[in-house]
């Protein structure tokens, strides 16, 4: 059985079956470690995303209350120079326009992000594949 400190000379005496068995075990161990890394990374991201979403929810509730108050204030002020129905209509259209612009910008940002992936794990797997290719070439196999 091989250890991390085996040299190429020590490994040359092993049979092909032992080498294949060691390779299989090492690949299996590596895959299990990569899966554990991805799971840990996504769990941490999920936990932070949940906390952030909760804070956004609370901020949204307070923002809606503030928005309602400001809208009422604008309607009351405009009522002094135009009919109440027109003041309410213009205020609603203005707020609706702002909402539309924000929704379109938000959609663009989300489309730019794409799907969430475990970046560190992806990089680690790429490095593992490159190492395996390089190691296989250097051993002439």
* pLDDT over 50 (residue 40): yes
* pLDDT over 80 (residue 110): yes
Provide the token pair at 27: 């690949």
Per-domain boundaries in the chain: 12-138
Q: 0.85 cut: is pTM over it? A: no
Q: If you average pLDDT over every residue of the chain, what do you get?
A: 84
Within 13 Å and on the Cβ side, how many CA atoms surround 75? 15
Lowest mean pLDDT among 6-15, 83-92, 120-129: 6-15
Average pLDDT estimate for 119-127: 81
Cβ(79)–Cβ(87) below 8 Å: yes
Mark 48-74 as b/e (b = at least 16 C-beta within 10 Å). eeeeeeeeeeeeeeeeeeeeeeeeeeb
Higher pLDDT, 37 or 69: 69
Q: Which of 7-11, 40-44, 100-104, 118-122 has the largest mean confidence?
A: 100-104
Match 């129905």 to its residue by tokens. Answer: 85
Residue 30: the pLDDT is 87
Provide the token pair at 12: 């040359």
Cβ(109)–Cβ(22) below 8 Å: no
Full 3-state SS string of 75-134: HHHHCCCCCHHHHHHHHHHHHHHHHHHHHHHHHHHHHHHCCCCCHHHHHHHHHHHHHHHH
Report residue 8 CA to chain centroid gap: 41
What does the pLDDT look like over 43-67, one tens digit per residue? 888 888 888 889 989 999 999 999 9
* pLDDT over 50 (residue 1): no
């Amino acid at each position: 059985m091989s250890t991390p400190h085996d040299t190429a000379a020590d490994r040359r005496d092993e049979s092909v079956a032992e080498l294949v068995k060691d390779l299989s075990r090492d690949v299996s161990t590596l895959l299990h470690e990569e899966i554990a890394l991805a799971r840990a990374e996504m769990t941490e991201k999920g936990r932070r995303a949940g906390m952030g979403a909760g804070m956004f929810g609370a901020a949204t509730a307070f923002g809606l209350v503030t928005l309602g108050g400001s809208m009422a204030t604008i309607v009351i002020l405009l009522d002094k120079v135009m009919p109440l129905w027109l003041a309410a209509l213009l205020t609603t259209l203005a707020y609706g326009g702002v909402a539309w612009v924000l929704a379109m910008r938000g959609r663009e940002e989300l489309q730019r992000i794409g799907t969430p992936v475990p970046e560190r794990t992806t990089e680690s797997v790429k490095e593992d594949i490159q190492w395996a290719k390089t190691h296989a070439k250097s051993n002439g196999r």
